[in-house]
A and B are shown apart, each in its own frame.
Chain A
Amino acid sequence: MQDSSILNTFIAMMDRIGLNYEFLATGYEATIWRDGFITTLYLIALLIPVSLVAGLVFAACLTSGRPFLSAPVRGFVEITRNTPTLVQLMFSFLVLNTFVSNLVGGAQNNPLTPFFWVVAVVGLHIAALHAEAMRAGIEAVPSSMVEAARGMGFSQWQILRHVELPLAFRASLPAIVNNLINLVKLTTVGNAIAVSEITYASIMVWTQRDNVVSLMIVILVFFSAINIVVARLGIWVERKLAVPGYGL
C-alpha cells in the first residue's frame, strides 16, 4: 500500500484520542468500506435523476384532469407517502422480487438485484413527494395565464411544457431540494436487503472491530458533506432560474 506511512501516522494519531481505524491498514475490510462509499455515491447519483423524472411524470398525470392517468398515480402517491419506506423495500424485495423469480422460473434467472429494488423503491418514494411539490407549483399558475395560452392555440401538452412546468419548477424548487436531501439519507435503507452501501459496509467492519463510534463519525461527516453540496446546488439553481420582477 502506497502512502502507508501517512496512513499509519493517521491510525496512530486517532488511536491516541481513542478512535480505532486500524482496519484501514488491512486489505479486505478497507476495500469493503471504500466500496460502501462508492455504492452510496452511485445510488445517490442514480436516484436523483430517477426521482426527478418519475416525479415529473407523476405530476403531469396528477394535473392532467384525466382520471385514467390521475387516479392510479394518486393511489400510488398516497400508499407511498403513508407507509414506511423500509416496509415498502422489504415488501418489494421479499414479495415482488419472489413473484418475479417464480415468473421467470427461479431466482437464478431473475435479473432484478437488491440494488435495483433500492433504486426503484426509494426513487419512486421520493418521486411521489416531488410530484406533490410540483403539483402545488402547477396549480399555482394563474388560470388566466393558462386560458391565455389556450386562446393562442397552445395544446394542453405545450401549455404544460412551456408555461406550467417552467413556473411550477421554480415555485417547487425549495421543496424538491428538501426531498433530495431526504433521498440522500434514505439510501441507507439499502442495508436492510444487503445492498453494500456505506452503513452496511460499516456494520460489516464494526461487528469485527468493535469501533462503532469511529465509523459513525465518518458516516455522519460523509452524509453532511453530501447534503451541504446538494443544498448549495439547489440555491445555485434557484438563483440561476430567478425571474427578474417576478416573485420566484
Chain B
Amino acid sequence: MTVSPDNAMTTTDGKAQDHIVKLEDIHLSFGQTQVLKGVNLTVNKGDAVSIIGPSGSGKSTLLRCINALAMPQRGRITVNGTRVDQLTKESERIELRKRVGIVFQQYNLFPHLTVLDNIVLPPTKILGVNRAAAEKLARELLDKVRLSDKANSYPGQLSGGQQQRVAIARALAMKPELVLFDEVTSALDPETVGEVLQVIRDLVRDGMTSILVTHEMRFAEEISDTVVFTENGLIVDHGSPEQIFHTSTNPRIRQFVGGLGARGTVRDGEGI
C-alpha cells in the first residue's frame, strides 16, 4: 500500500521502509482558513502519486509542505529521513529544497536568462557545481525534454509547453530525490499539454519519484501507482487508478471523476 491515510502511524516508526515521503496528521491554516485538516500520506521511492480533487481542497498547499514552502501548524513530515516540520532555519529548509524539485503551473523561468542559463544557474549557484559540468548536464536534460535546439533562446520566445519542459529540465538539473508537479499543464492549451505530459511520463518510467497535483484525469490514471482524492483539506480516498477511477463506491469521487470524464475524453496529441 502506497498511501495509508489514518492508519499510517501504526505501521511505520523505526522500521526500515522504502517510503521517501511521509505526512502524518498535517494541519495547516492561513489565518482563520483551515486548509489542511489532518492529512496522512506515504509515498514510496520510485512511485508516481497523483493528487486529484476540486479546487481549494488543499492540493497545492499539501505539495508545498513537502519542500517547506508552507509550514504546517501540526503534524509530522518526513522526506527521506529529514523531519521537515522541525526545520526552523531558512538554511535548513534550503538544504531540503536542494533535494526536492518542484515545477509550477506558471513555469516561472527567469526571463532575462537563456534557456541554457536557466538550467545552469541553480546547480552552479546553489550546489556549487562548476559551469562546464552544469552546462554538460543542462544540454543532456534539454535533449531529454526535446529542446536541444532552443538552448540559446529566451523563455519569452518559447511556447508555454516548451517553457514548462525547460522548467522540468531546470528542476532535474538539481538531481532531486523526488519531483513535485503543481498543476503543470493547467496553463497550457490542449495541444501543448501532450508534450509536457510525455516528458513526465518518461520521467516516471525512469523511476523518478513524482508527486503530481493534476486535473489530467486520463494521464493520472495512466501513469500513477496511486491516486489520492482530496476534498476540504482531507484525503477522502486513495488507491490504485483502477480503484479510484472505476470501482470507487464513494459517490463524491464517482461524481468528480465522472464529471471530468475519466474515460472518453482523449485529447488529440496526448498519446497513451
Contacts and interface: CB of A to CB of B under 8 A. Distances in A.
A pairs with B: yes
B219 interface: no
A108 B154 CA distance: 59
A244 B155 CA distance: 8
B198 interface: no
A153 interface: yes
B122 A147 contact: no
A105 to B, nearest CB: 47
A162 B102 CA distance: 19
A170 interface: yes
Interface residues of A, number: 24
A17 interface: no
Given A243-B156, A245-B156, A246-B156, A153 B112 contact: no
A158 B126 contact: yes
A167 B122 contact: no
B240 interface: no
B110 A150 contact: no
B40 to A, nearest CB: 23
Contacts of A170: 112
A150 B155 contact: no
B186 interface: no
Interface in B143-160: 153-158
B90 A154 contact: no
Question: Which has the most chain A C-beta neighbours within 10 Å: B90, B122, B171?
Answer: B122
Contacts, number: 76
B67 interface: yes
B161 to A, nearest CB: 15
A241 B113 CA distance: 11
A interface majority secondary structure: helix
Interface residues of B, number: 29
Contact of A147 (B69, B91, B121): B69
Contact of B106 (A144, A152, A155): A144
B97 A152 contact: yes
B156 A155 contact: no
B157 A148 contact: no
B97 A158 contact: no
Contacts of B111: 167, 243, 245-246
B174 interface: yes
A158 B125 contact: yes
B94 interface: yes
Given A152-B97, A243-B156, A245-B157, A145 B108 contact: yes
B98 interface: yes
A150 B108 contact: no
Contacts of A149: 108, 110
Nearest to B182: A151
A67 interface: no
B52 to A, nearest CB: 22
Given A245-B156, A246-B156, A151 B121 contact: no
A203 B122 CA distance: 58
A154 B156 contact: no
A163 interface: yes
Interface in A127-169: 142, 144-145, 147-156, 158, 162-163, 166-167
Contact of A153 (B104, B122, B153, B156): B122
Contacts of A154: 94, 122, 125-126
A243 B69 contact: no
B104 A148 contact: yes
Contact of B69 (A145, A150, A245): A150
A163 B174 contact: no
Nearest to A146: B108
Interface in A156-191: 156, 158, 162-163, 166-167, 170
Contacts of B67: 151
19 contacts: A142-B106, A144-B104, A144-B106, A147-B69, A148-B102, A148-B108, A151-B69, A151-B97, A151-B104, A153-B94, A153-B126, A154-B94, A155-B94, A166-B112, A167-B111, A170-B112, A244-B153, A245-B111, A246-B156
Given A170-B112, A245-B155, 15 more contacts: A144-B106, A144-B108, A145-B110, A148-B108, A149-B108, A150-B69, A151-B69, A152-B122, A152-B171, A153-B97, A154-B125, A158-B126, A243-B156, A245-B157, A246-B155
